[in-house]
A = this chain, B = another copy of it.
Amino acid sequence: MLNQSSPLDLTFQALADPTRRALVERLVRGPASVSELARPLDMSLPAVMQHLAVLESSGLVRSEKVGRVRTCRIDAAQLSLAEQWINQRRLEWASCLDRLGDYLETLKNNDGEES
């Protein structure tokens, strides 16, 4: 495996966990402190911190500490990256279907011309 993960690896990996998606769902509605984020979650604070570390290393979340409270916020650029990858695949898939459609159409027409 050997840690050479691409940004896309890290982003999808980050989104693959329900707790982390819950954190993202919370953070898109505005910034929050660590303990604020942890409150509704049914796990220890260190566990939440580890999820936040994953989100931060993927670039989905940024944070800064003022006094003793760390405030976390979304970085939407990384969300776009993941979305774009998926969107690109769907576009290719659609154009593949189109070509298939054209091909089938051609077959049908040629069939019509045969005797």
Contacts and interface: CB of A to CB of B under 8 A. Distances in A.
A12 B8 contact: no
| Range, interface on chain A | 20 to 34
A16 interface: yes
Interface string A37-62: 00000000000000000000000000
Interface string A13-53: 10111100100110011100000000000000000000000
Contact of A93 (B6, B17, B18, B28): B28
A30 B96 contact: yes
14 contacts: A12-B12, A12-B15, A15-B85, A16-B16, A21-B85, A25-B89, A28-B92, A29-B96, A30-B96, A74-B89, A79-B93, A83-B83, A83-B86, A83-B90
